[in-house]
Amino acid sequence: MGTPITGSSPKKVTYRPPEDTSRTRAAVEKKPSAEVPGDAFEKSRAEGRYPPVALNAASPLPPDTGTAVPTNGTTSAKYQVGPARRPPIHHDNGFLQNPNDPKDPNPIATREPSFSDRLAKGKWAVKLEAARQFRPDLKDATDAYAHFLYGNGKDRTFDYERFVTQDESGKKVLKSATQDTQKAAEAQYAAMLAKDPSLAGKPVTFQITGGPIGVGGNDGKFPYPQTENWQKAIGGHSIWNSATVTVTPPTTPGGKPTFSMDMTVHAEDRYNFNPNQKDIATGIPDSDNGRFEQTGLAHQYTQTGSVQRKVGWSQGDIENATSTPINNGRG
Paired with 313 in beta bridges are 259
Q: Please give the pLDDT value at position 292.
A: 98
CA atoms of 292 and 221, how far apart (whole Å): 35
Q: Which residues pair with 312 in a beta bridge?
A: 260, 322
pLDDT surpassing 70 at residue 103: yes
pLDDT value at residue 328 = 52
Q: Name beta bridge partners: 240.
A: 266
Q: What angle do CA 230, 282, 145 make, to 5 degrees?
A: 45
pLDDT, position 313: 98
Mean pLDDT of the residues in the chain? 84
Cβ(85)–Cβ(61) below 8 Å? yes
- Cβ-contact 215, 44 below 8 angstroms: yes
- Write down the pLDDT at residue 73: 95
Instruction: Give me the mean pLDDT over the 216-237 stretch.
Output: 94
Per-residue pLDDT of 237-260, as tens digits, reads 999 999 999 999 998 888 999 999
What pLDDT does residue 279 have? 85
Burial annotation 176-203 (CB, 10 A radius, 16+ → b, else e): bbbbbbbbbbbbbbeebeeeeeeeeeee
Neighbours of 139 (CB within 10 A): 16
Give strand ranges (E) for the chain. 3-7, 12-14, 26-29, 79-81, 156-157, 204-210, 213-215, 237-248, 258-271, 301-314, 322-325
* DSSP label of 90: B
**CA proximity to 280, closest of 33, 8, 45:** 45
Q: Is the pLDDT of residue 169 over 70?
A: yes
Distance, CA of 232 to CA of 138 (rounded, Å): 8
